[in-house]
A and B are shown apart, each in its own frame.
Chain A
């Protein structure tokens, strides 16, 4: 069956009695990269959390591949990778242990080759056995990005993925997003600056 993408209709989101979005319509088609922009506090993260099923919208519907995301929780959430501000890694575990945990959750039985590939591409291959807490902030960010290579998914929702990245890693991430979209993936990302390396198919702005 052809993937119909993510469709949000008549979406109203509020935080602490402040309405961030009212009656928003959003369509994220397969093979497209969507750039979500707006000032701090405009509601970008809230919208992303809502599309990820982490935040309940006041009203409206979200459909993945033609079906409500609340009616088929597990399928949508197995297709989704949501990278938030928090890096979601355990400080006590090594890079390998953290990444293999997420791979196993996604049903990847032997993630060694994928972890090697991702960490080598990002220049942290030799640090695989180092604990996450012992890494620099930039290296920690790279570990979180490795999830995009290791975990199978059909939709990526990325909250500020380009923050704190050096030039090489920005380039790598832009290529990765582009390749994922070419293979039919759906990408929604936020950034405070447009990313020159990345061809964007759709721009969505949120205003106060």
Chain B
């Protein structure tokens, strides 16, 4: 059942690829504006890079949330899948598909932005890029998991994306703090294991809570 739900999400996204490309394009565009707007100097860019990349990733995730839930709600397929597969399973499949289609591409493209923001000392040193990718790999699923709760509650309240932003942004703050500080610690040659462990712990908590909470909210949204 889960695989059928996931497969359908991926098929719909493939046909509606523009919706997937826009958040990725937004992520790249926002980050690439900073060297023009702030300074092209490596020390300045290096200093602001973790925060910029993480804030852009966070906003890109937020931007993509609406399309993943709203269309199913409007065409009636949300209530049908909730009836047949159950709320937790539907929410889990949607969250996984959302991360695979919007979170994972951000992780994959982040080395390019690392180069743009000059986080490494030359092309041969890629340590900081790996740390950036690892922090996003642990952080972006949590962003999707928390976002799913916010979007499901917004559907339940029959409200638009602005409510999602208000609900979700405060919950994103810990991920932003630890994601940014992981990369900053790496750039300053400090240990970053603690920050990564906290990001992993936040992911675990979200994995346990979010599918259930989002599922319940989705069920309320169709009633």
The interface of chain A, by Cβ under 8 A from chain B, is 49, 52-56, 73-74, 77-78, 80, 82, 84-93, 97, 101-102, 104-107, 131
Contacts and interface: CB of A to CB of B under 8 A. Distances in A.
Contacts of B12: 90, 92-93
B11 A93 contact: yes
A73 B87 CA distance: 11
A131 B76 CA distance: 17
B223 A74 contact: no
Interface of B: 1, 4-5, 7-8, 11-12, 15-16, 71, 74-77, 79-86, 222-223
A107 B77 CA distance: 18
Given A74-B86, A92-B15, A54 B223 contact: yes
Given A84-B79, A87-B75, A90-B75, A78 B15 contact: no
21 contacts: A53-B83, A73-B86, A77-B84, A78-B84, A84-B79, A87-B75, A88-B79, A88-B80, A89-B77, A90-B75, A92-B12, A93-B8, A97-B11, A101-B8, A104-B1, A104-B4, A105-B1, A105-B4, A105-B81, A105-B85, A107-B1
B217 to A, nearest CB: 14
Contacts of A92: 11-12, 15-16
Interface core residue of A56, A102, A105, A107 (most chain B CB under 10 Å)? A105
A177 to B, nearest CB: 20
A93 B12 CA distance: 7
B79 A54 contact: yes
Contacts, number: 68
A133 to B, nearest CB: 10
A86 B81 CA distance: 13
A52 B83 contact: yes
B15 to A, nearest CB: 4
| 3 A-B pairs closest in CB distance | A86-B76, A92-B15, A104-B4
A97 B7 CA distance: 10
Nearest to B74: A86
Contacts of B79: 54, 84, 86, 88
A131 B11 CA distance: 12
B15 A89 contact: no
Nearest to A144: B76
B69 to A, nearest CB: 13
Contacts of A104: 1, 4
B6 to A, nearest CB: 11
Given A80-B83, A82-B83, A105-B4, A55 B223 contact: yes
A87 B79 CA distance: 11
A84 B81 CA distance: 13
A88 B76 contact: yes
Given A93-B8, A101-B4, A86 B75 contact: yes
A80 B79 CA distance: 13
Contact of B77 (A53, A80, A90): A90
Contacts of B83: 52-54, 77, 80, 82
A131 B16 CA distance: 12
A77 B80 CA distance: 10
Contact of B76 (A53, A80, A84): A84
B15 A93 contact: yes
A54 B11 CA distance: 27
Nearest to A82: B83
Nearest to B222: A54
Contact of A91 (B7, B8, B75): B75
Contacts of A88: 75-77, 79-80
Contacts of B7: 101
